[in-house]
Structure 1
Amino acid sequence: MGADNARPEESRSAPLSNLHCDETSPQCQRCVKRQITCSFLDEGPERLSTPSGNILVFDRRITKTLDYPPLPGLDSDPDQLPHGSTPISRPQSGVVAGEEGSLGGKQFDLLDLELIQHYSTRTYMTMSSRLSTHVVWRDTIFAEALRHDFLLHGLMATSALHKATMQPKTSDAYAEYSKVALAHQNAALAGYIPAVSKPTQDNGIALFSVSLLLTVWAFASKRLPEGLNSVKLEFDQGDGSPGITLPLHSPTADFIEIIMILRGIHAVIRETDSWLQGDIEELLRYPRDADLPPHSADVVEAFEVLARAIDDPHLTPLLEHEGSNSTKSLCLEQLERLRTISRCRSVVEWDGHIFSWLIMAPLPFIHCLKQGNPMALALFAHWAAIFQCMDHHWWATGWAYSLVAEVSSLLDPIWGPYLDWPRKQVGLAFQEGATFDGHR
C-alpha cells in the first residue's frame, strides 16, 4: 500500500515488506519519510477475536487522534494521582448494554480500556485473600464477561470503585471514578435483574459472579447500589421479615441490608449450583477443620463471658422482655456457630469464610437482629470485631469499627462488661458516664 508513490530508487532497492506502513510506531516513520498516505490512519476499526469467539472492535484512529492525554502521574503508578490534581476530561464510556458497533462488536473508549486493564492487573487480586482464587477472578470470570455484557459492566464498575478508593475523597478524581462506577453498576443491573429470575446453564456463572460483585459494591459504597432494591425483593421472597426497627440508615441497619444481599447470593448459588463446575468451583470451597487453628486464650474467654450473659440476673428482665426461651436457645446456638467459624480470623487465606456465619444463619436470628434483640446484637458485635480481619480489603475497610461502635451505643450500659472484648479489638475507648462513646 502506498508503493506507487515511492521514489523509483527506493522501490527497486527496498524489500517489499519495508514498503508497508510501520503500524508498531505511533507516527509510522516509513510513510512520513516517503511522504505517502499512511494506511495506519486510513484503515477502519480493527477486529480482535476473543477466545470465546466474540469480536471486539477497537478503533485505532480514535485512540491515535483524540487529544486525551493520560491522567497526571499514571506513567509511574497507574493507581495514583498527584494530590489535588484535576482529572482530564475523557469520553463517556462507550460500552453500553446492548450497544453494538458498526461491525457487530462492542465499542471501547480509553476509559473503558483503562478500567479493564486495571481490573486485569490489580483489582482481581483484591477480591479474595486465597491465592488459588486469583486466577479464577482474572481468567475464568473475565472470559465469561466477554460473553455477557452485564458481567463486563460489573467488572468495570468494580475496577472504577477500586480506583476511586485510591484517591483522596475530596479530589475530582474520586468523584469521577465514583460516577463512572455508578454508571457501570446501573448498566450491569439492567442486564442482571431480568436474567437472575431465569438462570440458565449459559448465564449461570455470570449471574453467580455478579452476585459476588454486588456485595463488594455495597460494602465499598457503604450503601446499596442504585436499582438493587428490585433484586433484593426477589431474594427476600418467603422471608416473612418484620422489617428493620434499628435507626434508619445506621451502619447496623445498612449492614443487615447488605447481609440480605449475601443471603441472596446463596440463593443464586442454589439456583445455579449444577452449572458452577470447573475452575469456578474454587470460589465455593470451604476450609476443613484442620485448616483452622484453635482460638487464642483471649478469644476463648470472650466467648465464655458472652455465654454467661444468658444467665445474668441483671439482664434477665431485658432478655425476657425482648424474646422467649426459644430466642435464648437460638442465640446460644449461634454463639456456638460463631465460636467455630471465627477461627478463620487467624488464617488470611480463609478470612472470607467469616461471612458464612451470617449467610447460613437461620432467618429467625436475622429477624432478631433486625428487631434489635440485645443478645443478638451482642453476638453481632463479637462477629463485627472478628470481621476486622477483613480490613485489609479496600472494600471492607472501616466496617468493623463502625458496627461495634454503633452496637455499643444501641445497647443499655448494663451490657458493657459483655462488650469489652469486641470494643478492645477495634480500638474503642470507654467514656465514663451513662453512654458509650465511639472514638479511638
Structure 2
Amino acid sequence: MTSVRRKWHLKSRNGCDTCKMRKIKCDELHPECWNCIKKGLRCNFKSLRPIAVKEPPDIELEHLEHLELLHHFTISTASTLANESEIRDLWRVWVPQIALSVRYVLDGVLALAALHKARYNPGRRESLEARAMEYHNASLARALPLVTHPNRHNGAHLFLFGVLTLLFSLAKPRSADDIFLVGGGVVPEWLYLLRGIDTVIEAESAIEASPISLIFRATNPSFEYWRSHEPLEHDALTALKANIRARAHAANQKTLLDAVEALQRSFTFRSRDTLQFQHKMRGFYTWLYDVSDEYLKLLRQGDCEALCVLAFYSVLLKDLERHWWLEGWAVHLLQRIYLLVDEEHQLWIRWPVEEVGWVPPCVPNISYQT
C-alpha cells in the first residue's frame, strides 16, 4: 500500500488566532490574512497593527520668537524697570501673567523686550528693532479703542498698556533729524502719554486695588511732599522767571511762571541727597503731570519762553539716564529746543546747556578781522 505524503509547509507560530482556532495554516498576510477575508471572519492581525504616532506640528517661528522675548523680559528687562524688589517682582511675575491673557499687553511686553534685547545683540539689532515696532503698532491698534472707556475689568490692563507704551516711546531709536514731537508742534510724544496714564488712574478707581498700583503707590509720600513743601531758591530758575516777567507776552506770563514754580518744586528733589532714587524720580516726573494745558498749548505753538522752561526740565532728565530707556533724551530734547528758539532765547538756556554737558553747534560763516 502506497502511503500518501503530506504536503510540506513551513512551520510557523505567527499565524492569526482565528486560523489557529480553525486549525488551518495561516498565510500571515497583513493587515488581514486571506483565510479570514474569504470566510468573512474577524482577523486579529487588524487589531494588532502598530498605532501610527502622529508627529506634533512644528512650532511656528513667531511662537518661538514670543517665547524668546517673553523669557528675556522675565529674566532681564523686568529687573531694569524698577529699583524696589517688590515692584521688580511685579514686572517679572504678575505682568507676564496678565500678558498671557490680554493680547495688547503681550504685544507691549514683547515690543519693550525686543528693544532691550537689541541693545545687546548688534548682529540682530536691526531685525529686533523692526519687530519691536510691529509689536508696538499691534498693541496700539488693539488698545486705543478701549482707552477712552476704562472700567473695573480692563482699567489695570489699560494702565499697564500706558506704562509699556510710555517706556517704548522713550526707548525707541532716535536719529539726529527725528521728528519726535506731536502733530508738528513741540510737545514730546511721551509727555502726552504720561499725562494720559494719569487720566486712566483718575477715571478708574479699581486700578488702586490691583497689584499694578504698586508702581505709583510706593512713591506716594514723595508726591505729597512735592505738593506741600516750600521749594528751594534756584539761581538759574530765578533768572528764568525774571526774563519771563521782562520779555514774555503779558497774557502768557502767569502760565509760564506757574510752570517754572512747579519745576522749582521738582528741582528741590534734585538737591536732596537723602532721597532714594525712586523718590527723586517721582519728584521729577510730577512736573509733567502738574503743568497746565495752557502751557502745553504754548509748546505746541512753538512759544520760545515755553520752550526755555522745557529746556530746564532736560536737566532732570539727565539725572534719570541711569535707566536705559531714558539714555540720550536730555541732549536730544535740549538740542531740538536750541535749534527752534531765536538767538536771544538761546542765551536764556545757557545754564541747562552747560549742566547737561551739550556743546551747541558753531555758528557758520563768521569771519574774524584782525
Q: TM-score, normalised by structure 2?
A: 0.71
Matches within 5 A, 1:63-82: none
Q: Which runs of 5+ in 1 are unaligned?
A: 1-38, 46-60, 64-90, 95-108, 224-246, 436-440
Per the TM alignment, residue 118 of structure 1 is displaced from its structure 2 partner at its CA by 0.8
Per the TM alignment, residue 256 of structure 1 is displaced from its structure 2 partner at its CA by 2.4
The answer to whether the Cα contact below 8 Å between 2:201 and 2:207 also exists between their aligned partners in 1 is no
The secondary structure found in structure 2 opposite 1:154 is: helix
Per the TM alignment, residue 331 of structure 1 is displaced from its structure 2 partner at its CA by 1.0
For residues 222-242 of structure 1, the C-alpha deviation after alignment (integer angstroms, 9 at most, x for no partner) is 57xxxxxxxxxxxxxxxxxxx
Of the candidates 343, 359, 366, which is equivalent to residue 429 of structure 1? 359
Of the candidates 89, 105, 118, which is equivalent to residue 72 of structure 2? 118
The secondary structure found in structure 2 opposite 1:276 is: helix
In structure 2, relative to structure 1, the CA distance for the partners of 1:430 and 1:275 (3 Å cut) is closer
Partner Cα separation in structure 1 for residue 319 and residue 215 of structure 2 = 19
- Report the residue type matching 1:380 in the other structure: L
Of the candidates 93, 108, 121, which is equivalent to residue 62 of structure 2? 93
Counterpart residue number, 1:350:
279
Counterpart residue number, 2:33:
none
Structure 1 window deviating more from structure 2 (280-289 vs 420-429): it is: 280-289
Of the candidates 190, 200, 203, which is equivalent to residue 141 of structure 2? 190
Of the candidates 114, 138, 151, which is equivalent to residue 105 of structure 2? 151
Per the TM alignment, residue 290 of structure 1 is displaced from its structure 2 partner at its CA by 8.9
The answer to whether the Cα contact below 8 Å between 1:160 and 1:178 also exists between their aligned partners in 2 is yes
Partner Cα separation in structure 1 for residue 215 and residue 144 of structure 2 = 22
The answer to whether the Cα contact below 8 Å between 2:244 and 2:256 also exists between their aligned partners in 1 is no
Of the candidates 205, 211, 219, which is equivalent to residue 273 of structure 1? 205
In structure 2, relative to structure 1, the CA distance for the partners of 1:139 and 1:290 (3 Å cut) is same
Partner Cα separation in structure 2 for residue 386 and residue 219 of structure 1 = 15
Matched, 1:377 2:307: yes
The answer to whether the Cα contact below 8 Å between 2:115 and 2:128 also exists between their aligned partners in 1 is yes
Counterpart residue number, 1:176:
127
- Report the residue type matching 1:273 in the other structure: S
Per the TM alignment, residue 423 of structure 1 is displaced from its structure 2 partner at its CA by 0.4
Structure 1 window deviating more from structure 2 (188-197 vs 354-363): it is: 188-197
Per the TM alignment, residue 273 of structure 1 is displaced from its structure 2 partner at its CA by 2.7
In structure 2, relative to structure 1, the CA distance for the partners of 1:365 and 1:290 (3 Å cut) is closer
Per the TM alignment, residue 130 of structure 1 is displaced from its structure 2 partner at its CA by 4.3
In structure 2, relative to structure 1, the CA distance for the partners of 1:355 and 1:434 (3 Å cut) is farther
Counterpart residue number, 1:289:
225
Counterpart residue number, 1:307:
241
Per the TM alignment, residue 291 of structure 1 is displaced from its structure 2 partner at its CA by 12
Q: Larger % of helix: which?
A: 2
Matched, 1:412 2:337: no
Per the TM alignment, residue 43 of structure 1 is displaced from its structure 2 partner at its CA by 8.0
The answer to whether the Cα contact below 8 Å between 1:144 and 1:205 also exists between their aligned partners in 2 is no
- Report the residue type matching 1:289 in the other structure: Y
Per the TM alignment, residue 211 of structure 1 is displaced from its structure 2 partner at its CA by 0.8
Percent identical: 24
The secondary structure found in structure 1 opposite 2:201 is: helix
For residues 345-380 of structure 1, the C-alpha deviation after alignment (integer angstroms, 9 at most, x for no partner) is 464223432222122321000001111212211110
Q: TM-score, normalised by structure 1?
A: 0.61
Partner Cα separation in structure 2 for residue 139 and residue 197 of structure 1 = 28
- Report the residue type matching 1:335 in the other structure: V
- Report the residue type matching 1:305 in the other structure: A
Partner Cα separation in structure 2 for residue 220 and residue 43 of structure 1 = 45
Counterpart residue number, 1:390:
320
Counterpart residue number, 1:20:
none
Matches within 5 A, 1:48-63: 62=58
The answer to whether the Cα contact below 8 Å between 2:111 and 2:135 also exists between their aligned partners in 1 is yes
Q: Which runs of 5+ in 2 are unaligned?
A: 1-50, 366-370
- Report the residue type matching 2:193 in the other structure: I
Of the candidates 186, 192, 195, which is equivalent to residue 263 of structure 1? 195
The answer to whether the Cα contact below 8 Å between 2:187 and 2:296 also exists between their aligned partners in 1 is no
Partner Cα separation in structure 2 for residue 256 and residue 148 of structure 1 = 28
Partner Cα separation in structure 2 for residue 416 and residue 400 of structure 1 = 16
Counterpart residue number, 1:82:
none
For residues 255-285 of structure 1, the C-alpha deviation after alignment (integer angstroms, 9 at most, x for no partner) is 5233222222222222223333143221123
The secondary structure found in structure 2 opposite 1:395 is: helix
In structure 2, relative to structure 1, the CA distance for the partners of 1:175 and 1:416 (3 Å cut) is closer
In structure 2, relative to structure 1, the CA distance for the partners of 1:431 and 1:195 (3 Å cut) is closer
Larger Rg belongs to = 2
In structure 2, relative to structure 1, the CA distance for the partners of 1:414 and 1:140 (3 Å cut) is same
Counterpart residue number, 1:334:
259
Matched, 1:220 2:171: yes
For residues 113-132 of structure 1, the C-alpha deviation after alignment (integer angstroms, 9 at most, x for no partner) is 11111111111122234444
Partner Cα separation in structure 2 for residue 388 and residue 292 of structure 1 = 25
Partner Cα separation in structure 1 for residue 311 and residue 364 of structure 2 = 19
Partner Cα separation in structure 2 for residue 116 and residue 159 of structure 1 = 7
- Report the residue type matching 2:240 in the other structure: L
The answer to whether the Cα contact below 8 Å between 2:156 and 2:206 also exists between their aligned partners in 1 is no
